[in-house]
Chain A
Amino acid sequence: MVPPPDAKEPEPERRSQVQIYADILRLLQRKGGAAKPTHILYGANLSHKRLLKYLEVLLIQGFIEQASMGGRMVYRITPKGHVFLKELKKIEQFSEAFGVPI
């Protein structure tokens, strides 16, 4: 069925800051622990400016670290980042149980 021309697209749900941090860390996990900034940029669906802001916070918190791989700078998830993701999963399940979005 063709939607009427004035039909609005359903707005995608806005991600919370915690979700964005988790998305970046999970992306690094999926990529084997490390990824180039451009891969994170597309994978996390963020603007370059916003991505830098989030990466800076993750670096300060010690959840990720910068490393060199084949002469290119990459971001790597740290053991602290893995622990954070594990704890976050439990907290997400708790929040989900009550039907209150994280």
Chain B
Amino acid sequence: MITDIIPMRFYGFDTAIYAFAALIGLAIAYKAYRLHALTGKKQHFYLATAFTLLGIGLATLTLTSGFTYYRYFISGNLSLFDLMFNIDDLGFWIYGISSLVAYSLLAMSYLPESRAKFAPLIFFTTTYFAYLNIILFAVMAYIAFNALRHWLESRNLNSALVAAGFLLIAGFHAALPFATFSRLLYVVGHFSLVLGFIALLVMLIRVGK
């Protein structure tokens, strides 16, 4: 149940964080589509599609968590379908699947084209929701590792911001599975997510100048 893991003072803030992250994700997707239109490269298409899916997933989460809070504050009722599966769960499932596909595509954009066949295997991993964040963390950690390696080679501030962004998003997925043990980790995870997208936003502003 949503009320088991979210501190009361944090109600609504997570929705705002998802909305902010969705907007940045879609802005990056737009830039990446322009890049793909110019080059026609597969890697750029993966990058653009990944951020589109991530943006859509986060936008879905914004709507479902926003609706959940609305119902909670209006009627005190969180469930939409039944007591076991509420609309927030549905939002998390849509976000979970879209971000799994998105991260797989991001991982593919870091692979040489000849080796980019392994990543779709991740799509077929059947998993229970509780483990989804652990898988998302593993894929995002791989992406962050590659981004960090690129930053160490290039020593470019924009690359550092991308690596920091991916690391912080990985931090979000690392914290969420443990939110059932400590509500504080739910807050820490979401701060990590918003800081990650702020790092990506700063990069986007810098390259747009």
Contacts and interface: CB of A to CB of B under 8 A. Distances in A.
A100 B41 CA distance: 10
A52 to B, nearest CB: 22
Chain B interface size, under 10 / 10 to 19 / 20 to 34 / 35 or more? 20 to 34
B110 A16 contact: no
Interface in B162-209: 162, 203-204, 206-209
Contacts of A96: 154, 156, 158-159
Nearest to B109: A100
Contact-residue size bin, chain A (C-beta under 8 Å from the other chain): 10 to 19
A99 B150 contact: yes
A97 interface: yes
Interface string A53-75: 00000000000000000000000
B47 interface: yes
Given A16-B41, A88-B38, A91-B35, A97 B109 contact: no
Contacts of A94: 31-32, 35, 158, 204, 207
Q: Does more than half of chain A's interface fall in helix, strand or loop, or is it mixed?
A: helix
A18 B38 CA distance: 7
Nearest to B204: A94
Contacts of A99: 110, 146-147, 149-151, 154, 159, 162
Nearest to B162: A97
A102 B156 contact: no
Nearest to A97: B158
A38 interface: no
Contacts of A91: 31, 34-35, 38
Interface of B: 31-32, 34-35, 38-39, 41, 43-44, 47, 109-110, 146-147, 149-151, 154, 156, 158-159, 161-162, 203-204, 206-209
